[in-house]
Structure 1
Amino acid sequence: MDRAEARSENGRAGYRRSSRSDRGEARRRELLDRVTEDLATNGLVDFSLRRAARAAGTTHKVLLYHFDGVDDLLIQGVLRLRQRRVSGGLAAAGRARTLAGRVRAIWPVLVADEALVLDQAIGLAMYDAARYAVLGQDASEQYMPALMSLCPPSWSDDRRLEVAAMVLGTLRGFLIDARTSGDPMRIGAGFEALARALDREEGADVQG
């Protein structure tokens, strides 16, 4: 994405914002749906207002009426894709009986087709934190409640928070390894260690 273009697009004056009427909100959701699908297919590289307008089948002026610029579109599209990932992961985890089993069940969802664009979003947050820090901050805010919900309901909030934070950090490491090395044996070995740790944590209730 070109910085000069982004500054111009985000700072462009003269376009009235959507009135947030029911009709305006429906149109806004429709446009965001189309832009989100473009992001899921083509990733964040070279994303621009022009590309978003082509994907949405409209003009940049219409997009600027409903959104605050190219960064607003990118961020909202990423958040929507991430929420789809969270929902899919929870649905997959619901069929498992143990905490370790639930964490294992979400892995195929994490590495599904939309994984690349979400990995790119974290990279963007690291590369240009001043502009895209929200992409990293919101990732934890979206994932942590879902991971905490996988823990036994009898656990305290602090315990669920601790275990969810451990799982999130570990899975992020696995995702980086999957993207950079593509070594399934190493990731599988890591999962075995994570599963044993989660089994011990969950088994501590029985032993106690």
Structure 2
Amino acid sequence: MDNATDEPARASYRRSAGSPRGEARRRELLAKITDDVAENGLVDFSLRRAARAAGTTHKVLLYHFEGAEDLLRQVVVTLRERRIGNALAAVAGSPSTLAGRVRAAWESLRDEETQLRRVLDQAMGLAMYDPGRYAALGRHASQQYLPTLMAFCPQLWPEQRKLEVASMILATLRGFLVDLLTSDDGAGAAAGFDALLRAVEREEAAP
């Protein structure tokens, strides 16, 4: 990843902070770069590649972002927001039970574009294999997903119970998504998901 020009630009980072025009420009750049990463993945990601995708220069990117790692983090956050938005749209028409919401969310995740799934798994791989530089990619994943899963839970549950159940669901669905990417055993993931649903239904029925 290209970091050679990061340091001199830090003093000018977000000079347009608070400016509606500057923020609009930052969002425009981020959207173009996010589309490029969604299509082409994270391999060989750099400021210069991002600049080409956005139709600008790496110096302009350093005006709006701290550097390559900050930009990559924001791209991944944006892709996760897209995933969550797709899942919420699917859940909107589902039964109002926790199990019904989890099923609808899983079907959205299972059927999403393979490339999107692959890119987000690449981000988690970076967090695991180079935590010194990319730990934030892993931490932010749970911070993004857990509030949505907690909102699926019955409103009367204590927050700690919501967190525990949401954490179980998140960890399990992550495993199924990896399995779908790395093997052709869709039947195994489907059977595992049915077992997860039974566990969720038992939890929901418990006092």
Q: What TM-score, normalized to structure 1?
A: 0.91
C-alpha deviation, 1:139, in angstroms? 0.3
SS of the counterpart of 2:206?
A: helix
Specify the alignment match of 1:105 in structure 2. 104
Specify the alignment match of 2:127 in structure 1. 125
Establish whether residue 16 from structure 1 lines up as the match of residue 15 from structure 2: no
C-alpha deviation, 1:60, in angstroms? 1.0
Specify the alignment match of 2:71 in structure 1. 73
C-alpha deviation, 1:108, in angstroms? 3.4
Deviations along 1:65-96, whole A, 9 cap, x unmatched? 11111111111010011111112212211222
Q: Is the 8 A contact 1:92 1:106 kept in 2?
A: yes
Specify the alignment match of 1:143 in structure 2. 145
Q: Is the 8 A contact 1:9 1:70 kept in 2?
A: no
Deviations along 1:163-192, whole A, 9 cap, x unmatched? 101101111111111111131100010011
User: Please, which runs of 5 or more residues in structure 1 have no aligned partner?
Assistant: none
Mean CA deviation greater in 17-26 or 119-128: 17-26
Give the distance between the partners of 1:65 and 1:134, measured in 2 at CA: 22
Structure 1 residues 150-189: aligned runs within 5 Å: 150-189=152-191
Deviations along 1:93-142, whole A, 9 cap, x unmatched? 12222212211111233241221111110011001101000000000000
| 2:52 alignment partner, one of 42, 51, 54 | 54
Mean CA deviation greater in 173-182 or 122-131: 173-182
**Alignment-mate amino acid for residue 147 of structure 1:** L
RMSD: 1.5
Flag the 1:92–1:14 CA change in 2: closer, same or farther, 3 A: closer
Give the distance between the partners of 2:93 and 2:195, measured in 1 at CA: 22
C-alpha deviation, 1:15, in angstroms? 6.9
Flag the 1:101–1:60 CA change in 2: closer, same or farther, 3 A: same
Q: Is the 8 A contact 1:78 1:121 kept in 2?
A: yes
Q: What TM-score, normalized to structure 2?
A: 0.92
Structure 1 residues 21-36: aligned runs within 5 Å: 21-36=19-34
Flag the 1:14–1:69 CA change in 2: closer, same or farther, 3 A: closer
User: Please, which runs of 5 or more residues in structure 2 have no aligned partner?
Assistant: none
C-alpha deviation, 1:204, in angstroms? 2.1
